[in-house]
Structure 1
Amino acid sequence: MHLAKHQRRPRLELKLRHHPDNLHALYRESEDLVERARWHAIWLLTTGHSIPEVAQILGYSIRWVRDTLHRYNEGRPMADLRLQNPGQPPLLPPELQEAFRQALLEPHPRDGIWTIRNAAEWLSQRLGRPVDPRRAWSWMRRLGFAPLRPRPRHRQADPEAQAAFKKNSS
């Protein structure tokens, strides 16, 4: 909709589909906070409050009240449906998680040490698709493991002095 410079928006009309008493009951009985606020806004609009008044009473913007009114007029649900999205299933089903945990407890078949790359290869074979080493790292950490790596050594360290220190300290 393209409006001229000084033209106002068309007035939004509430297409009442519920009795105001029913709207009040929906507002009071709602468990979801977003849904409750939306029903409250619609109920206030039915009791004669203007959109700016409802926005001020509820502490929301005028745009939010207008969007809520559009939602009600179109018959869309008032609940926040984002919370009902279960998301994607995990990469590893529970039985494969346990198999991976058991495999990490044993020495790696090839070289005895589980590296991130070894873990990624193991997961790739079981899943039948490539697995990024970073994903293998996250699953190792999630299962309580960390990859083994040697302690850092200083480049200019004197191996003879270190060996002598080990002999004297024990």
Structure 2
Amino acid sequence: MTVADHLTLNELWRRVKKAKDPIDKHRFLAVYHAKRGLTAKKIAKITLNTPRWVQETVRRYNQGGPAALGDRRHQNPGQKPKLTPEERERVLGALQGPPPDGGLWTGPKLRDWVERDLGKRLSLYPIYRLLHEMGFALRVPRPRHAKADEAAGELFKKTSSPRSKRRGPRGGG
């Protein structure tokens, strides 16, 4: 494997030792060993990667020099938001009132509203993420058993001993 003469062997080793980013350190280590004459297979064992990764890393170094080994994920801004800030404000305004069909807002109702009023089709995941980012939380009452006797439950609460009220749910102290 041929390694370009961008840096000497000692300079490569210094880059391995001084790298603060573990990804950079890992890549410089692979190039350092390649410059020492090790095969891609041996370097892959040392770096716990595949020979293909080693070859790709050395290729990047040969073409772009030391700067090409940087972790490019840090410059990736990610996907742009599905809704603009103005659209988010409209969604927040809509959530302040009742949904068009009455009742309570649900994810599917909000998704339908966004599609109808904003003209954007979103799956439920971005809708729920949007609600979470806006500070909304799921509020659902605890389920009640269909055959539960409310009077018996209240009587139990009033007549149970104070000791059982202090203990946790499993009877631990």
- The answer, yes or no, to whether TM exceeds 0.5 is yes
Which blocks of at least 5 consecutive residues in structure 1 are unaligned?
Answer: 1-11, 163-170
Quickly say closer, same or farther: Cα 1:108–1:24, change in 2 above 3 A: same
Identity across matched positions, percent: 29
1:37: Cα distance to partner?
1.5
TM-score, length-scaled by structure 1: 0.60
| In 1, Cα distance between equivalents of 2:139 and 2:49 | 54
Give the ranges of 4+ consecutive aligned residues of structure 1 lying more than 4 Å apart after TM superposition: 146-157
Q: Which amino acid aligns with 1:121?
A: D
Q: Which amino acid aligns with 2:6?
A: R
Do structure 1's residue 118 and structure 2's residue 109 form an aligned pair? yes
| In 2, Cα distance between equivalents of 1:85 and 1:25 | 27
Alignment of 1:84-95 (within 5 A): 84-95=75-86
Which blocks of at least 5 consecutive residues in structure 2 are unaligned?
Answer: 151-173
CA RMSD, Structure 1 to Structure 2 (Å): 4.0
| In 1, Cα distance between equivalents of 2:50 and 2:102 | 65
The C-alpha deviation readout for 1:93-123, integer Å capped at 9, x for no partner, is 3343344234223223542532334312322
Q: Is the 8 A contact 2:26 2:47 kept in 1?
A: no
Do structure 1's residue 40 and structure 2's residue 41 form an aligned pair? no
TM-score, length-scaled by structure 2: 0.59
| In 2, Cα distance between equivalents of 1:59 and 1:22 | 19
1:145: Cα distance to partner?
3.4
Q: Is the 8 A contact 1:120 1:132 kept in 2?
A: yes
